[in-house]
Amino acid sequence: MFTDSYFDKLILPKEVEEALRKSPCIAYAETKEELDEMVYGPTHTSRYDVTYQIEGRMVKEAEVIRCKNGAVVNFMEDYMRRRDPNCMAIGDNLPSDKPRFKDRYGYEFSTLRQATLDWLSEQSLVLLPFRAGDRIYGYDSLMVCPLNAAFFALGLADMQAFVSIKDIPHGYKPRSIIYVAPPFRHTHFEGKQVVVHNRSKDLHEVFAYNLYPGPSAKKGVFSILLDIGEQEGWVCCHASAAMLESPYELETVFMHEGASGGGKSEMLEEFRREEDSRLLIATHTVTGEKYYMTLRESCKIHPICDDMAVAYNKIQDPEAGKLSIMDAEDGWFLRMDGMNAYGNSPLYEKISIHPPRPLEFFNMDGVPGATCLIWEHVLESNGQPCSNPRVIIPRDMIENIVPDSEPQEVDVRSFGVRMPPSTAMSPNYGVMGMLQVVPQALAWLWRLVSPRGFKNPSIVGSDGLKGEGVGSYWPFATGRKVTQANLLLRQILGCPNTLNVLIPNQHIGAYHVGFMGEWLAREYLARVGGQVKAKHLTPARCPLFGYALLDMKLDGQFIRQTFLRPETQSKLGAEGYDQGAKILTDFFKQEISQFLTDDLDPLGRQIIECCLNDGTLEDYLALTPMKLLK
C-alpha cells in the first residue's frame, strides 16, 4: 500500500496522482543541501552521466561534474546548450495565437500527455515544490522530474524559491506543474526541444521534453506567470530593475525593458572606464574620432531584478501613480559569454569562485575537484567556445541588492533598442538620441513592436529590423497578442507618475556608443530624481521618439548636442535622419496593424491609427497627456 506521507499532502489531478503513485521511488528534498547532493547520482560520484534507454540503445544526454564551487552541467549536443526559440506548442484549446500541438504534430496532446504520465510512473522521480514568482505573493507549484536528472530540479530550485517538502501544508494544490520527460524528444520529436503548455482555469502544466532549463525551468515559469497574469489582469514584465543612489543620496528606481540585446543586463552594470578612469562616450564611425568625459563619482547601483518583474495588481498603489514591481525570481540565470579572461567581471568572479554555498553552472569547462571558472567555456563541435555559458546566482549573493520583501515603485521606465550606424551616405534607422522622453501612448507602441534591432548577439541573422512583440515577452506568452496589448496599455495608463523614456545602444547616428549612452542617460536621470523639466525638452524630429533633450549636464559638463539630437551631426544631417526615421516608421506601421481587431481597447485603436496616419507628438499627447515639471 502506498504510504508516502509527503505525497499525501498534495492535491493533484486524478490521472497525475494515479501515475505518480506507481513510481518505484519518489525522492524529496527536505533541505537545499540534500538537493545539491542528488545531482551526483546514487553513488555521489564526482562525474555523473545522465542517460536514458531509448529504443534499445543507451543515450547520454548530459554529464554532471562535481567542482569545488558547485555542479557543472554539460550537454552532449551543441543544440541542447541553448534555447530553441520555436520549441513552444499549446496543448489545450484555450485562446492562443501560438502554434497548437495538434496543428504541428497531427494529433491531440491528451494522447501524449497520458503517454508522458505513463513513462513517469515507471521512473524513480524527484518531486520538488517551488514558488512561481516571488516568495511572498507567488504561486504554489510543483516539478516532477526523473531522479537521474536532479540537476534540472536544482536549477529550478535556484531560479525560483526552493520550498522544503517538510514545509508544505496538507492540501497543497499546485497552481502550476512542470513535468520533465527527456527521452520524448528522441522518440516523438526527432531530437528537437519541445515544451508543451497545457492550460486550464486553475492549473498551468508545462511538459518539458528536453533538459536544457532555458525553455522550461526559466522561460516556462515566465509563461506560467504571464498566463496567470492574463487571467488576473496584471503583467509580468520582461525587465531588469535597479535603485540608483546618487552622490547626494537621491534614490531613483529604474525598470528597463527591451527585446533581447536591448540592454537589460547592462542596466545593472557600472560604467566601463578607460585605464585613466575616463569614460569613452563615443567613437565616430567615419572619422575614428573619440569623445571622452571625466566623471569623478557615479551613482551606486542597488539591483532589484534581472529579467522578470512581476507587477501584481495587489501591490499597486493607485494614489502613487507609479508602477510597483517585485523580482519574479530567487536566482538569476546569467549568461557569461562576455567573460573570456580573469578581471572581466570582478563581482560575478568573486561570487562564483568562492560562493557561500554551491552554485550550478552550464556549458562551462568543469574538472572534477577543481574550481569552475566562469571565463572557461566548454568547446563546441566547431572548436569554438560555447556562446551560451550560464551560471545561476542566487539573488541573496549579489552585493547591494534591494531586499525582495517589499514592492518597489518605478520612477523611470525605460525601453532599450539596438541601433545601427546611420549617415547621410548610408542612412539607417539608428537616429534615436541618447535619451528620448515619451508620452504613455508612445511608450505603449514601442512595447507592442519591441524591435530586436542591430546585430543582436542572441539571435542568428538579426541585422535587419524584426519585432519581438508585445512587451518583448511575447516569445514566452501562451495567450493572445491583443489581450497582452490591452493589459500593457492599462498598466501604463495607470502609472502617470512613472517617467517613460527610450534609450538607444550601439549607435547614435554616425557614432558608436555601445552601452555608454544607456549608462549616461541612467546617470543623468538618477541625479534629477527621474524628473525632466519641460525647459530641457523639445519635440523630436521623428514623432515616434517623443521629446529630445535640449541639454544634458553631468558634473558641470554638457553632453554634446550631436548625441541628443542626431540630426545635428554633420555626417547625418536632417535628410539622412529623415530617411532613417522613415525606415523605422514604416516598420512600426507594418507591425502594429495586426492589433486592429475588435477586441483591442478603443484608446489603443486610436493610438495605432494615430501612428498609421503619421500623427505628430501633439496628436499622441492629446490621447495621453503628459505631466512635465516647469
Instruction: State the Cα–Cα distance between residues 337 and 17, nearest whole angstrom.
Output: 42
pLDDT at residue 464, as a whole number: 67
Instruction: State the Cα–Cα distance between residues 339 and 97, nearest whole angstrom.
Output: 38
- What pairs with residue 414 in β-bridges? 256, 501
Quick check: 541 and 585 in contact, CB under 8 A?
no
Q: For 292-323, how does the pLDDT look when each residue is reduced to its tens digit (9 = 90+)?
A: 999 999 999 999 999 999 999 999 999 999 99
With a CB cutoff of 8 Å and minimum separation 6, the contacts of 221 are: 132, 141, 156, 159, 160, 176, 178, 328
Q: Which of 3-17, 65-79, 109-123, 475-489 has the lowest mean pLDDT?
A: 3-17
Instruction: State the Cα–Cα distance between residues 272 and 282, nearest whole angstrom.
Output: 13
Confidence of residue 627 (pLDDT cuts 50, 70, 90): confident
CA-to-CA dists, residue 146 to 15, 49, 184, 191, angstroms: 18, 13, 13, 19
Instruction: State the Cα–Cα distance between residues 334 and 315, nearest whole angstrom.
Output: 27
Instruction: Give the fold, CATH level 3, of 236-323+410-623.
Output: Phosphoenolpyruvate Carboxykinase; domain 3 (3.90.228)
Q: What is the CA radius of gyration of the chain?
A: 25
Query: What share of the chain in percent tops pLDDT 70?
Result: 98
C-alpha cell, 520: 549616461
Backbone angles phi, psi at 73, to 5 degrees: -110, 130
Instruction: State the Cα–Cα distance between residues 81 and 83, nearest whole angstrom.
Output: 7
Instruction: State the Cα–Cα distance between residues 194 and 89, nearest whole angstrom.
Output: 7
Residue 267 has pLDDT above 90, yes or no: yes
Q: For 368-407, how does the pLDDT look when each residue is reduced to its tens digit (9 = 90+)?
A: 999 999 999 999 999 999 999 999 999 999 999 999 889 9
3-state secondary structure of 234: coil
Quick check: 221 and 157 in contact, CB under 8 A?
no
Instruction: State the Cα–Cα distance between residues 590 and 467, nearest whole angstrom.
Output: 10
Instruction: State the Cα–Cα distance between residues 428 and 422, nearest whole angstrom.
Output: 5
CA-to-CA dists, residue 319 to 322, 408, 496, 536, 629, angstroms: 8, 15, 10, 28, 19
Quick check: 258 and 416 in contact, CB under 8 A?
yes
Q: Do domains 7-69+83-232 and 236-323+410-623 have the same CATH topology?
A: no
Residue holding cell 528536453?
A: 210
Would residue 106 be called left, alpha or beta, if left means φ above 0 and alpha means ψ between -120 and 50 degrees? left
User: Residue 215 carries which DSSP code?
Assistant: I
Q: For 447-468, how does the pLDDT look when each residue is reduced to its tens digit (9 = 90+)?
A: 999 998 766 544 334 456 888 8
Q: Region 248-264: what's the mean pLDDT?
A: 93
C-alpha cell, 480: 493572445
C-alpha cell, 305: 531584478
Beta-sheet strands, E only, within 250-353 = 251-257, 279-284, 290-293, 300-305, 308-311, 324-327, 331-335
Instruction: State the Cα–Cα distance between residues 392 and 162, nearest whole angstrom.
Output: 14
Smallest Cα–Cα separation from 220: which of 288, 109, 349, 308?
308
Residue 286 has pLDDT above 60, yes or no: yes
Smallest Cα–Cα separation from 607: which of 620, 596, 594?
620
Kindly report whether the global pTM for this prediction surpasses the value 0.85: yes
In this structure, the dihedral spanned by the alpha carbons of residues 585, 591, 592 and 593, taken in order and rounded to 10 degrees, is 110
Instruction: State the Cα–Cα distance between residues 565 and 540, nearest whole angstrom.
Output: 8
B/e letters for 500-518, b = 16+ CB within 10 Å, e = fewer, are bbbbbbbbbbbbebbbbbb
Domain boundaries, the chain: 7-69+83-232, 236-323+410-623
Instruction: State the Cα–Cα distance between residues 99 and 345, nearest whole angstrom.
Output: 40
Burial class (CB in 10 A: 0-12, 13-18, 19+), 528: middle
Quick check: 282 and 511 in contact, CB under 8 A?
yes
Residue 48 burial (CB count, 10 A): 22
Residue 2 has pLDDT above 80, yes or no: no
pLDDT at residue 456, as a whole number: 52
Residue holding cell 525582495?
A: 404
Confidence of residue 367 (pLDDT cuts 50, 70, 90): very high
Task: Indicate the pairing of strand 139-146 with strand 124-132.
Answer: antiparallel
With a CB cutoff of 8 Å and minimum separation 6, the contacts of 324 are: 311, 315, 316, 317, 407, 408, 409, 410
Q: For 463-514, how does the pLDDT look when each residue is reduced to its tens digit (9 = 90+)?
A: 568 888 899 999 999 999 999 999 999 999 999 999 999 999 999 999 999 9
Smallest Cα–Cα separation from 263: which of 506, 500, 83?
506
Q: Which of 119-128, 192-201, 401-410, 455-464 has the lowest mean pLDDT?
A: 455-464
C-alpha cell, 344: 572581466
Residue 3 has pLDDT above 70, yes or no: no
Smallest Cα–Cα separation from 458: which of 214, 285, 195?
214
- Report the CATH superfamily, name and number, of domain 7-69+83-232: Phosphoenolpyruvate Carboxykinase, domain 1 (3.40.449.10)
Q: Share the mean pLDDT of the chain.
A: 95
Q: For 509-558, how does the pLDDT look when each residue is reduced to its tens digit (9 = 90+)?
A: 999 999 999 999 999 999 999 999 999 999 999 999 999 999 999 999 99
Instruction: State the Cα–Cα distance between residues 618 and 624, nearest whole angstrom.
Output: 10
Instruction: State the Cα–Cα distance between residues 462 and 439, nearest whole angstrom.
Output: 29
Residue 262 identity (one-letter amino acid): G
Beta-sheet strands, E only, within 488-560 = 499-508, 511-514, 537-539, 547-549, 553-554, 557-558
Q: Taking the CA of residue 327 as centre, how many other CA atoms within 13 Å lie in the half-sphere pointing to its CB? A: 26
Quick check: 78 and 92 in contact, CB under 8 A?
no
Task: Indicate the pairing of strand 537-539 with strand 547-549.
Answer: antiparallel
